[in-house]
Amino acid sequence: MRTTIVCMALLLTGCGQRQTPSTPHADMPARNWRYYVANPGEIEPMQKICREWAGSSAPSDTQPAVVTTNCRAAAFAKSQLAITPKD
């Protein structure tokens, strides 16, 4: 009987807690577009993080500046690499 009461209490307290939105990993150094041009293999992994942030349930104003900066830098570098003529 006591076990049932304890389990019910734990269940009820767990249901009342507010779930925090899951946010993708954002512990990274800030990069500029020149870095991504010099390291094109880093563009796709960064864009994967950008897609995770875009698809997360976190409010857009909670996105760290480093993610925004790196997403823009990676996208710009990718566009520059696409229009650069190959020798």
Residue 73: name the closest of 52, 53, 47, 41 by CA. 47
* Size (the chain), residues: 87
- Per-residue pLDDT at 23: 58
pTM exceeds cut of 0.75: no
For the record, the structure tokens of 48 come out as: 């994967």
Q: What is the pLDDT of residues 6-21, one digit of tens each?
A: 445 544 444 443 434 4
Between 3 and 56, the more confident residue is 56
Q: What is the pLDDT of residues 28-85, one digit of tens each?
A: 899 999 999 999 999 999 999 999 988 888 887 788 889 999 999 999 999 999 997 7
**Count of Cβ atoms closer than 10 Å to residue 70 Cβ:** 25
Ordered by start, the domain boundaries in the chain are 34-87
